[in-house]
Amino acid sequence: MNILIINSGSSSLKYQFFKMPEQKPLCVGIIERIGKENCFIRHKVLKDGIEKLTERTFFVRDHAEGLQNVVQLLTDAETGIIDKISEIEVVGHRVVHGGEDFTTAVMVTEEVKEKIRSLFSLAPLHNPVNYKCIEIAEKTFPDAKQIAVFDTAFHQSMPEYAFRYAIPEKYYSEMRIRAYGFHGTSHKFVTAEAMAWMKKPDAKIISIHLGNGCSITAVDAGKSLDTSMGFGPLSGLIMGTRSGDIDPSVILHLLRQEKKTPDEMDILLNKQSGMAGLTGHSDMRDVRKLLEMGNYDAELAADMFAYRIKKYIGSYAAVLNGLDAIIFTAGVGENDALMRERVCRDMEFLGLKIDMELNKAKSEQIKEINATDSTVKILVVPTNEEFEIARQSYELLNEEPPCEQIELY
Ligand SMILES: Nc1ncnc2c1ncn2[C@@H]1O[C@H](COP(=O)(O)OP(=O)(O)O)[C@@H](O)[C@H]1O
Ligand SMILES: CC(=O)OP(=O)(O)O
Ligand SMILES: [Mg+2]
């Protein structure tokens, strides 16, 4: 079975083409910094045992334009992996918000699309883009089955006392206002990898996903118990352009004082806050350059970013009543050793002690970066949401999981 996976994040579009059930990734690609001047595509194809890499800086306005470029690359004689569009049999889509309705992968139907549309305002940086990609895929690959895998699904195991908000009950019973949690596909994948690596299926793990969007999850024996994002992907950690946790009185004050409209507040909190609001840059690589120049705003923002994560680690260690490992994953978590060090500083009381040298070493695989006398493991686990979506899509169509995991690249 040939399956194309499309993962639209808030700053990127990632895609992979797999042969299933072998789980062989024949093409892996990413478009980064969508909508920005220095937008970049990396497209890697494995053909006849030879790896071929295409990289270029170009400009795409949005994810839809990005996806059209991907389709061209996939079918191009030089860079492609298929001769005909009809060779793609299944398209698996990452969809960020699925509300309470989805706990597993589903076939995309008109009803599912309607549900995704109804959640646009709760995940404004994601659901509209995810929906657009589904529409483009339906037109481009008319014979393929379309499958949706939701970020929210993994967190449906949270207990009610964790997912409810302390507001009048009718807002839950009538309007389903509760915490849903996001990045579930990533948290599920990296914690499963870590449990297998530690040979500990009952491990208590804190999974820290630091991309453009950031979230942290307490996972006990493979089940999500609590997570930092809530009703939408806006609360919790400080992100590229999102504020994370903020006292609601600030929002009320701004609505009253500056007579902001709900849409203006939406833009302020989702697009103009976080690292962008504090330093002028949403991309941690740009913030890192400012840090190297000794910029005060960047130093403060990096301290705030790390401090927020630290607070959640303490709180989730209490939620889990123990801790076997913490995991760093996603763009910042996998690549920014200095940020990992800043987070893990002064955490010895919790049994967390980082090894500076191991932390600096580059690796494409899972790596342990804790000191030998750290009682809690500190792991860097490369996430692979596309792989997890491919597995879940295969399982949906075949009612059984694909064969055992093969080596990824
Ligand atoms: N080498 C690096 N050092 C620091 N940050 C990095 C590095 N590479 C990527 N990043 C960060 O990762 C972020 C993107 O992460 P990613 O998980 O791909 O995001 P998303 O899926 O949310 O679009 C970028 O904003 C960038 O700040
Ligand atoms: C939910 C979310 O924030 O996703 P991403 O980090 O991919 O933007
Ligand atoms: Mg992402």
- Specify the pLDDT at position 241: 97
User: 40 CA to middle of ligand 1, Å?
Assistant: 13
User: Residue 403 — very low, low, confident or very high, per pLDDT cuts 50/70/90?
Assistant: low
**Is 368 a pocket residue for ligand 2 (Cβ < 6 Å)?**
no
ipTM summary value: 0.98
pLDDT per residue over 288-314, tens digit each? 999 999 999 999 999 999 999 999 999
- Interstrand relation of 204-210 and 40-47 (parallel, antiparallel or unpaired): unpaired
Among 272, 280, 330, 270, CA closest to 301: 280
Peptide bond into 21 cis (omega under 30): yes
Average pLDDT score over residue span 246-269: 97
Which ligand lies nearest the alpha carbon of 240? Answer: 1
Protein residue with its CA nearest to atom 22 in ligand 1: 212
User: 32 CA to middle of ligand 1, Å?
Assistant: 9
Tokens of 350: 């919790």
**Is 232 a pocket residue for ligand 2 (Cβ < 6 Å)?**
no
CB-based burial label for 277 (10 Å; 0-12, 13-18, 19+): middle
User: Residue 407 — very low, low, confident or very high, per pLDDT cuts 50/70/90?
Assistant: very low
- Specify the pLDDT at position 49: 86
Indicate the CATH number for domain 2-150: 3.30.420.40
- Specify the pLDDT at position 134: 97
What does the DSSP 8-state code read for residue 150? E
User: 382 CA to middle of ligand 3, Å?
Assistant: 12
Distance CA 5, CA 18 (A): 8
Protein residue with its CA nearest to atom 21 in ligand 1: 9
pLDDT per residue over 39-98, tens digit each? 999 999 998 889 999 999 989 999 999 999 999 999 999 999 999 999 999 999 999 999
Assess contact for 44 and 53: CB atoms under 8 A.
yes
Which alpha helices (H) appear in 174-226, and where do they start and end?
184-198
CATH fold for domain 199-380: Nucleotidyltransferase; domain 5 (3.30.420)
pLDDT per residue over 164-180, tens digit each? 999 999 999 999 999 99
Q: Please say if 151 is a catalytic residue.
A: yes
Q: Do domains 2-150 and 199-380 have the same CATH topology?
A: yes
pLDDT per residue over 5-24, tens digit each? 999 988 899 999 999 999 98
- Specify the pLDDT at position 401: 81
Delimit the domains of the chain by residue range: 2-150, 199-380
Average pLDDT score over residue span 114-131: 95
**Is 30 a pocket residue for ligand 2 (Cβ < 6 Å)?**
no
Distance CA 235, CA 269 (A): 10
